[in-house]
Structure 1
Amino acid sequence: MSTSSSVYNELRLKKQLCDAVIRVDNAEFHVHKVILCNCSTYFRALFNRWSSPDNRLFEIPNVSPEVMKLIIEFAYTDFVPVTQENVQELFVTADRFNVMGIIEACSDFLEEQLNPHNCIGIWRFTDNCYYPEIKNKAFQFLLNHFEAVATTSEEFLQLSVQELGKIIENDQLSVKKEKTVFEAILRWVTDSTEERREHISLLLSKVRLALMPPEYVIKSVDDNEVMKSSEECRTLLRRAMENMLDIRTKDFSNSIICYPLACPRLPAAVLLAIGGWSGEGPTNGIEAYDVCADCWVKIPDNELTPRAYHGTAFLNGSVYCVGGTDNIQQLSTVQRFDLGTHTWQEVAPMHSRRCFVCVTVLDGYIYAMGGYNGRNRLSTAERYKPRTNQWTLIASMNAQRSDACCTTLQGKIYICGGFNGSECLLTAECYTPETNQWTMIAAMGNRRSGIGVVTYSGYVFAVGGFDGTARLRTVEAYNPDTDTWSDMASMVQRRSNFGIAVIDDRLFVVGGFNGFSTTVGVESYNIEADHWSYVPEMEISRSALSCCVVYGLTNIAEYVAPRPSLQVSEVEEDTVV
């Protein structure tokens, strides 16, 4: 609280120089008009337009003395204690009086309280408020945690058919399997069968039925009396089965356009493959992997400087491309891509040129380690703070490392393998930011340069690479609790200098060099099955690329395969017998 605010509040408490009295029920508050005008357009209008200048007493209905006291104290101190008990009344009253500071404080409080059991209540509660941000955040939380909400929340069962329809038709609804949505509808209908059975065909028309296993659909209809007795439901499900059969004979990406009932939902995150070495030199090509549509999408209008052997990092809605080479020189430059505006900007360069660099993000900083400056393999490391646009040197590593790879786990950075100028390395070390210190950890079982390193399921995975003789398929995982490495299932294809990332609870390796040529090939690994399998290929064959996962984008639809709008009216027309 500023000195002037403190003085005004002291005068208020002593009822000195006050020129108005706010009466709520039987409570009276002596105030200064100018102070309340400063925090609320409502009071400005009340004092200046809705009353005469000599009016001193103002009766305000439909608000409790306790909440009015908090609002007046906020006007003088710029502070309000928001609690579980007062947040709803305080929010509604502040919205009525347009006290933006309190609205924001209540919104922040409600956002912190969001969970699967109350997000629907908060979404509905803020339905008619002037401040839409918390409503949007509550709705997005509901979409992101739909499975938990639909299976555990009592609020879910109280939704109207219109509210439930709005939720399940949303492309951003996050579910691993579409049958989660299907089963949620059945749970809602079953809670009040006689009242809700008439809505089931409307709700089912908003489900991507053709993405569900056909045998599951058939069994569900046979087992559910409501669906079995609805001719509209049976017709809709038959149409979905026909779509499933058609899709099996056509390219899936075309099926997205042709069959709304097979249209995948938008993913919560997207895997980007950026730059790399393709053909005779570096490329600036960027492709995005859409995990829901299971396909790659080319990102157009790209102004990235062609570069290879670089690093990438996602932070605060932007992708940073760090170091590498443009085939003329080793780079210290850094370019930032704003995913919201699709614009590129050059930010502060690193202290050193770094080709074959390792890049990661930890606690809001971008770290760049090792690499090759055109003369020497580097042991130096530095970190970038976006808010100040500055790079700062940190402690050097214990070894010179270029063509290594790094990841973060439990607040530390792990860097593995690489090349020191004379041999491929099997050593690894970790960095602790609090002490600014590097510590050697257990060595890997294989020498690996051009390695891929990523955190997955609580382990540090070291994948593929070059051991000085051949490209590798082998994979090993590091347990930081025991300081030991364990062999995991090998990749299908040998590769080095590939992109690596974890998305959709799977580990992906992208492109790379197989010992003979660059590749478009992509594989994914599932730790539960300990198994690698191919996924769709990229359009561009490349090695020395870098991958990162981007998420939390309001414009995620601009980075995925196009989706048609699922028009309920069209579906309903199709389902009429």
Structure 2
Amino acid sequence: MSTSSSVYNELRLKKQLCDAVIRVDNAEFHAHKVILCNCSTYFRALFNRWSSPDNRLYEIPNVSAEVMKLVIEFAYTNFVPVTHENVQELFVTADRFNVMGIIEACSDFLEEQLTPHNCIGIWRFTDSYYYPEIKNKAFRFLLNHFEEVAATSEEFLLLSAQELCKIIESDQLIVKKEKTVFEAILRWVSDSTEERREHISLLLSKVRLALMPPEYVMKSVDDNEVMKSSEECRTLLRRAMENMLDIRTKDLSSSDFCHPLAHPRLPAAVLFAIGGWSGHSPTNRIEVYDVCADCWVEICDNELTPRAYHGTAFLNGSVYFVGGIDNIHQLSTVKRFDLDTHTWQEVAPMHSRRCYVCVTVLDGYIYAVGGHDGHNRLSTAERYKPRTNQWTLIASMNTQRSDACCTTLHGKMYICGGFNGNECLLTAESYIPETNQWTMIAAMGNRRSGIGVITYAGYVFAVGGFDGTTRLRTAEAYNPDTDTWSDMPSMVQRRSNFGIAVIDDRLFVVGGFNGFSTTVGVESYNIGADHWSYVPDMKISRSGLSCCVVYGLTNIAEYAAPRPSLHVSDME
């Protein structure tokens, strides 16, 4: 509270120089008109247009004395205590009086309280008031947590047909399987079958039926009396099956996204593949894999210096490009790309030049470990704190390593393999930030330089690489509970110096060098199916690239494959 505000509030409490009395439910609050006018356009109109200048007493109906007291105190102190008990009445009153500071405080409180069980209620509540920011945040939360909302929320069953349509037609609805949307509709209808059965054909028209197994759809229809008895529904599903067959017999590409039944929703996260060695020099090309559309999209941006054998990290809405080589020099520089504003910034450089560097994120810090400075393989490591824009040296590893790779699991960092200047390594070690200490762990079964290391399904996976003689297809997984490595299924293609990431519950390996040339090839491993399969190729071949997964963006559509606008009429 400023000094002047403190003085005004002291005068109010002592009822000195007050020129207004606000009466609510037989409670009276002495105040200064100019202070209330500064806080609210409602009071400005009340004092200047809706009453005579010499009026002092103002009766205000339909508001409790407790909330009016908070509004007046806010006018003087710019602070309001928002609680579960008062937030709804306080929001409504602040909206009525146009006290934007209280509306913002209530909105911040509601945003912090959002859960899958109350997000629909908050979305519907804020629909009645003109403050779209919290309404949009509640709606985005609902879309992002739809699977849990649809399965467990009692509020979900209270939605109107129009509200449910608005939710399920959104491209930004996050679901792993489209059948989740289909089953959510059936749950909603079955809660009040006779009243809601007339809406089922409209709701089904919003489902991406071509993304579901046709056998599952037909069995569901046979098992559901509402769908079987609706002529409109049967016609819609028959047309859907015809269209689905037509789509599945063609080579579906991004140009087919306009088909309403094949129109993929936006992904919750996308996979960035950045830079690398392509042809005879480093590149600055950035490609993004859209897991829902199953395709790569190129991001056009020429501000990144071409670099290879660098590290990449995603943190707080930005992608960081760390170290590497620009074809001439090993780099200590770090660039940050703000994904919201599409702007670049050079941040503090590392203490050392680091080509073939390992980069990961742990507890809000970016770690850069090992690498090659142009003269020596490094055992040193450092970490970056974005808030202070500062790199700090941490304890050195037990071994010099370039061409290694690192990941994090259960609050520890793990680094595996690499090259020490003389031989490819099979050793691995872990780092605990709290003790600033590296500890050797069990060695891998194979020597691996140019390795890919990632956390997946509770294990540390070590994939591919170069053993000093040949590029590898093999993979192994480390169990930190038993300090042991186990063999895993091998990749389809041999590769080293590739990108690696986990997205959509699958492990992806991207590009790399196969012993003869760089590759555009991408493949993924599903631990449930226990095998590797090919994914669409990147647009350019490259090795020495870096990958990271980007998530939580409100503008994810700007990095995903384009989705055309669709309407119900497209189904007809």
Q: Bigger CA drift: 366-375 or 393-402?
A: 393-402
2:288 maps to 1:285: no
Shift of 1:437: 3.2
Partner of 2:523: 523
Answer yes or no: is the 8 Å Cα contact 1:361–1:408 preserved in 2. Answer: yes
Partner of 1:205: 205
Question: Partners in 2 of 1:287 and 1:278 — Cα distance?
Answer: 13
Shift of 1:399: 2.2
Partner of 1:124: 124
Q: Give 3-state SS (helix, strand or coil) of 1:134's partner.
A: helix
Question: Partners in 1 of 2:430 and 2:187 — Cα distance?
Answer: 49
Partner of 2:361: 361
- List per-residue Cα deviations over 1:241-281 (Å, max 9, x = no partner): 12222222322215633521111111011001111111112
Question: Partners in 2 of 1:50 and 1:434 — Cα distance?
Answer: 64
2:266 maps to 1:266: yes
Answer yes or no: is the 8 Å Cα contact 2:332–2:354 preserved in 1. Answer: yes
Partner of 1:60: 60
Q: Give 3-state SS (helix, strand or coil) of 2:183's partner.
A: helix
2:431 maps to 1:458: no
Answer yes or no: is the 8 Å Cα contact 2:491–2:532 preserved in 1. Answer: yes
- List per-residue Cα deviations over 1:498-551 (Å, max 9, x = no partner): 101111111111111122221111111122333222222212111111001111
Aligned in 2, Cα 1:436/1:31: closer, same or farther, shift over 3 Å?
farther
Answer yes or no: is the 8 Å Cα contact 2:258–2:566 preserved in 1. Answer: no
Q: Bigger CA drift: 247-256 or 397-406?
A: 247-256
Aligned in 2, Cα 1:398/1:129: closer, same or farther, shift over 3 Å?
farther
Answer yes or no: is the 8 Å Cα contact 2:258–2:563 preserved in 1. Answer: no
- List per-residue Cα deviations over 1:388-424 (Å, max 9, x = no partner): 3333333332322211111122233222221121122
2:144 maps to 1:144: yes
Partner of 1:510: 510
Partner of 2:411: 411
Q: Give 3-state SS (helix, strand or coil) of 1:261's partner.
A: coil
- List per-residue Cα deviations over 1:50-101 (Å, max 9, x = no partner): 4444332222221111111222223333332222221111111122223233
Question: Partners in 1 of 2:260 and 2:127 — Cα distance?
Answer: 29
Question: Partners in 1 of 2:532 and 2:542 — Cα distance?
Answer: 20
Question: Partners in 2 of 1:168 and 1:377 — Cα distance?
Answer: 53
Amino acid at match of 2:275: G
Question: Partners in 2 of 1:39 and 1:169 — Cα distance?
Answer: 40
Q: Give 3-state SS (helix, strand or coil) of 1:219's partner.
A: helix
Equivalent pairs counted in the alignment come to 572
Shift of 1:175: 1.1
Partner of 1:257: 257
Answer yes or no: is the 8 Å Cα contact 1:255–1:262 preserved in 2. Answer: no
Identity of paired residues, percent? 89
Q: Bigger CA drift: 389-398 or 205-214?
A: 389-398
Question: Partners in 2 of 1:475 and 1:14 — Cα distance?
Answer: 77
Question: Partners in 2 of 1:40 and 1:352 — Cα distance?
Answer: 56
Q: Bigger CA drift: 256-265 or 20-29?
A: 256-265
Question: Partners in 2 of 1:426 and 1:280 — Cα distance?
Answer: 30
Question: Partners in 2 of 1:12 and 1:488 — Cα distance?
Answer: 74
Answer yes or no: is the 8 Å Cα contact 1:324–1:331 preserved in 2. Answer: yes
Answer yes or no: is the 8 Å Cα contact 2:260–2:570 preserved in 1. Answer: no
1:379-398 matches, cutoff 5 A: 379-398=379-398
2:495 maps to 1:533: no
Amino acid at match of 1:326: D
Answer yes or no: is the 8 Å Cα contact 1:201–1:233 preserved in 2. Answer: yes
Aligned in 2, Cα 1:67/1:262: closer, same or farther, shift over 3 Å?
same
Partner of 2:177: 177
1:70-469 matches, cutoff 5 A: 70-254=70-254, 256-469=256-469
Answer yes or no: is the 8 Å Cα contact 2:244–2:261 preserved in 1. Answer: no
Question: Partners in 2 of 1:446 and 1:51 — Cα distance?
Answer: 86
Question: Partners in 1 of 2:258 and 2:71 — Cα distance?
Answer: 56
Partner of 2:476: 476
2:47 maps to 1:42: no
List runs of 5+ in structure 2 lacking aligned partners.
none
**Aligned-pair RMSD on alpha carbons?**
2.0
Shift of 1:425: 2.0
Amino acid at match of 1:537: D
With normalisation by structure 2, the TM-score equals 0.95
With normalisation by structure 1, the TM-score equals 0.94
